[in-house]
Chain A
Amino acid sequence: MVTNAADNPLFKHFRQPAVYLKLPSEGQFYPEGTLDLPPTGTIPIYPMTVKDELTLKTPDALMNGQGMVDVIHSCCPNIKDAWVMPAVDVDAIFIAIRLASYGSSMDITTMCTACTESNEHTISLNHLLDNLKVADYGKPAFFDELKFKFKPQSYKHINDLNIITYEEQRLVDSIIRNESLSDEEKAVRFGNSFSKLRQMNVDAIAVCIESITPEGQEPVTDRKFITQYLENCSRESYQAIKQKIDDIVKSNKLEPLKLTCAECHADYESSLEFNQSNFFGKGF
């Protein structure tokens, strides 16, 4: 039976929040009942437990995304359903969980782009959190005499996309390596694979469109209609919409780290990756 934690007489002995995070989304884009946002506008972040750390070392749970979702539920109990969490909050939440669990310093290894020497650096996660940019989804765009309103992808969409991309990549590799297939058969299989990837790209754009409003009419919010529009609009409109979404997503990304090589003293940039193996795998 699930009981409310606050009713448990041992509640005050539970772990304490280590960080309070102001969500970049400010609580927008969460479906009703999936986020409990306190009046302060900040949510408590708890350090990972041993159980959480073990979850992040379970390959299947990492592959299907459930492991990360379980850890978010454990460390950010105010987020009731991490699958529907908007993409704009993902980086901030990962950084905050890392910070709450292992402290604000994080050692990273990067490769100098000039001399390929490996360099060790210590970065401040507090600094990263303070400098997170917030994408502006509020401003509508106009293409094709239509008004477009945008929204971020959910964590579930990002995860599904990663899985499909991985599977398609494996499929393409297996077609290339399969010597028993004739060139014609390979061409057919490549065609099927690329068709799936094309559909995936359309779906990825469709989930970022909240509504399309024709002049003087009601906004269209049905995903089926939006997808159908994207499949049938002009190439120019499609490219313009895609570019607009790419620009919004890019404006939410962390700036690459500006680093100096200890060996050749060249300045170079390196982006910080948020995959579970390098971001949560190392502690003290």
Chain B
Amino acid sequence: MTLDNDKVIAWLDSLEKESKALKKEIMQLCWYMRGSISYTEAMELSPFEREIIVKLVKDNLETTKKSGMAFF
């Protein structure tokens, strides 16, 4: 509440960026889960649950790369 105008604008910009990044992360998560998690369900996930799913997706991508299987 005691920031000057420039700092307030920078703070608002950072909030907007963080907000967009979070939405993008959720969209990607839904995409990589191939529809097994809907956008609405993903919005209800806690940070730890998101972290677990992101790790799961990364592990699966690695496995796919190593096995040389086609990936879309």
Contact = CB atoms under 8 A, between A and B. Distances in A.
Chain B associates with chain A:
yes
Interface of A: 15, 18, 46-51, 53-54, 57-59, 101-103, 162, 165-166, 169, 277, 281, 283-284
A47 B26 contact: no
B18 A49 contact: no
A63 to B, nearest CB: 9
Size bracket of the B interface: 20 to 34
- Secondary structure at the B interface, as helix, strand, loop or mixed, is helix
Interface of B: 1-2, 11-12, 14-16, 18-19, 22-23, 26, 42-51
A277 B2 CA distance: 13
A52 to B, nearest CB: 9
Contacts of B19: 54, 57-58
A54 B23 contact: yes
B66 to A, nearest CB: 26
A47 B46 contact: yes
Contacts, number: 54
B47 A102 contact: yes
Given A162-B1, A165-B1, A166-B1, A57 B15 contact: yes
19 contacts: A15-B49, A18-B46, A49-B43, A49-B45, A50-B22, A50-B42, A50-B43, A51-B43, A53-B22, A54-B19, A54-B22, A57-B15, A57-B18, A58-B19, A59-B12, A101-B47, A102-B47, A169-B1, A277-B11
